[in-house]
Amino acid sequence: MFPLKLSPEYFVNRELGILAFNRRVLAQAEDERVPLLERLKFLCIFSSNMDEFFEVRVAGLKEQIKYNSLHVGPDGLMPKQAFEKISSESHELVDHQYNILNNIVLPQLAQLDIRFLRRGHWNDTQREWIRNYFFRELMPILTPIGLDPSHPFPRVLNKSLNFAVELEGKDAFGRNSGVAVVQAPRALPRVIRLPSDIAGCEYGFVFLSSILHAHVDELFSGMQVKGCYQFRVTRDSDLNLDDEETKDLRIALQGELSHRQYGDAVRLEVADSCPPAMSSFLLGQFGLGPEDLYQVNGIVNLVRLMQVPDWVDRPELKFARYTPSAPKEFAKEADIFKVIRKGDVLLHHPYQSFNPVIEFIKQASEDPTVLAIKQTFYRTSADSTLMQSLIEAARRGKEVTVVVELLARFDEEANINWAAKLENAGAHVIYGVVGHKTHAKMAMVVRREDEKLRRYVHLSTGNYHQRTARLYTDFGLLTCQEEICEDVNDVFAQLTGLGKASKLRHLWQSPFTLHQRLIKAIQNEMEIAKSGKKARIIAKMNALLDSDIIRALYDASAAGVEIDLIVRGVCALKPGIPGISDNIRVRSIVGRFLEHTRIFYFYNNRAEDVYLASADWMYRNFFRRIEVCLPILDAKVKKRVIREGLEPYLKDNTNAWEMLPDGTYKLRPARRGTAFSAQNFLIQELGQDLPPEI
């Protein structure tokens, strides 16, 4: 199938690719075109991304190293080799992050009367206010733990803020261990705002760590505090569930979640003031080596600064606000089912409102002619209106079936809670197929009309999550085309029942047909190119890692197919390699919104086949998940997907990073007067308010 024999040098390591993406995120914090408070947010997003990277990817590598795994990926790196490269890159990135924070972002905020007051610069008034705050708000709930034979080193929660305290002297019982640990409860804010008259500026903040450092001696009466050092440990957060032994997934998962906070340690963060002896002591407590130590110039939990921009009422320092538009199809007609019967409706989030999706389920829950509602959930918000509508529909006696993916990483607890509420309301709750995450985004409503049943469906590239629908770019389609609805019904039947997979009419589905159909579509373009005709592939996704797909794309490129890949995150394929990928271009768009849309375009002798999918081009999406890929059959909708979902991203010269043949990325420079941002273009095209270009 793949005539080219490819050496490891033609593949990017997955973990290094993830770090390359995080480098692009970090670059947003340096970009002077980005409003200053948004730059602070990007520093926090980078921290959050790195947390997950260590909790999942680094934890997995360390597990392989622990058991002397000899597994070698397409990139040719063994686990230990990959870890060494990752460790070096991660240390460099974190150092750069704190350099941006301390030398660019915080000084510029201070010039604008938004200050983070450091302990060494407090005046007497500030010091008194902070002292009172400590005794009033902090001291009553802090529990210092002195280390001795009856008080061993405490269990430290994943990513929690802690302090190692060096002590001298004996306590009331004559004990003298020399070391204590103070754990900061998660209920405590990590950043505290001072009154403006006390702060001496409009917005003055102080870090919780600074307050504890200043008053830690109050916790150890009669003893001398020689040093106080903040630290934070990151742990393996993967869940260990045996597919064959699990009898009740929800019960098994509930038992496993309680252990997530105490998985094996994978990283230790300390302030750069922490002396080597204390760092070594802490590393020993967590079973970590020197390469796992990250000494930072500042607080060890930057993620918690994400709240600060919300507290600061300075619109000029944030992205200009806009209102997502209501699709014109709903301008004169409130009955959503009547609108869908007139033709397919394409929704483009966040530029267009998510409300039609909410209204679709809400109206279905209230409509007496609706008999059944079926929906999948991978991630949703804690206050989901959609879930409330489904609960209400079940209470009204409608047949409600919800496929809840319990193993959506870091959303397991929320999904368990929703599953219980749905079951209590009388809904049928299904947990999908053990061993295959249900990642497809589907909703189906069955309605009685004119003495017959009619189905309506919603299919999407993104989750049913109201909050992220304002932050992630996604397409959704509302349709009542019979064959599409029949396919969706068959997929639901697979998820809820037993039996052979039926042959679908239009949808491509993982784990059965999606992979082979994509390979076939790529090979079709290759054959067209060989015949001397125009051949073209454009694909937009979050990640590209599957080696078979990459080999097929390399073959197609060698045959003359023009290929543009818009891959937000990790891409293991390298473009522009002579004789291998000369005709492939790879770009990543990183901007205000998180690019989440999956669109696959094949020129196919002018037919221009366009698909929307829930799946990225990764092995797990093809073979370990339930995914669907939807062909766009309506000509007007297809034109919109191309015009809004692909063309602006190929034109972008503001937020576009182009991958070079060595796997590194370079920000595409805009010529003077020609700056074009795909996201800003779409805000102006589809949003109601027009923000200035950035």
Going by the annotation, the residues of the binding site for ATP are 49, 472, 568, 596
Q: For residue 442, what are its two tokens? A: 């589907």
- For residues 431 and 402, what is the distance between their CA atoms, to the nearest angstrom? 8
* CB-based contact 363:338 (threshold 8 Å): no
Cis peptide leading into residue 35 (ω within 30°): no
Spatial distance between the Cα atoms of 456 and 459, rounded to a whole number of angstroms? 10
* Residues annotated within a binding site for Mg(2+): 379, 409
* 415: CB partners within 8 A, 6+ apart: 377, 379, 380, 404, 405, 406, 408
Buried b (16+ CB within 10 A) or exposed e, 144-181: ebbbeeeeeeeebbbbebbbbbbbeeebeeebeeebbb
- Is the distance from CB of 78 to CB of 15 less than 8 angstroms? no
Q: Please provide residue 28's backbone torsions phi and psi, each rounded to the nearest 5 degrees.
A: -65, -30
In whole angstroms, how far apart are CA 677 and each of 146, 234, 591, 650? Answer: 56, 36, 9, 10
439 annotated active-site: yes
E-strand stretches of 439-492: 442-449, 452-460, 472-479
CA gap 366, 372 in Å, rounded: 12
- Residue 520's Cβ-count burial label (10 Å; 0-12, 13-18, 19+) is exposed
List the Cα angle 233/75/1 in 5-degree steps: 135
Decide if 573 contacts 27 (C-beta within 8 A).
no
Distance from C-alpha of 380 to C-alpha of 412, rounded to nearest angstrom: 11
CA distance 91 to 107: 23
Q: Are strands 442-449 and 452-460 parallel, antiparallel or unpaired?
A: antiparallel
Q: Which bin fits 604, alpha (ψ -120 to 50), beta or left (φ > 0)?
A: left
How do 399-404 and 370-377 pair as beta strands?
parallel
Asked if 603 and 525 count as a contact pair (C-beta separation under 8 A), the reply is yes
Q: Determine the length of the chain.
A: 694
* Active-site entry in 215, 349, 436, 439: 439
User: Cα angle at 86 between 85 and 92, to 5 degrees?
Assistant: 95
Q: Active-site residues: which are they?
A: 439
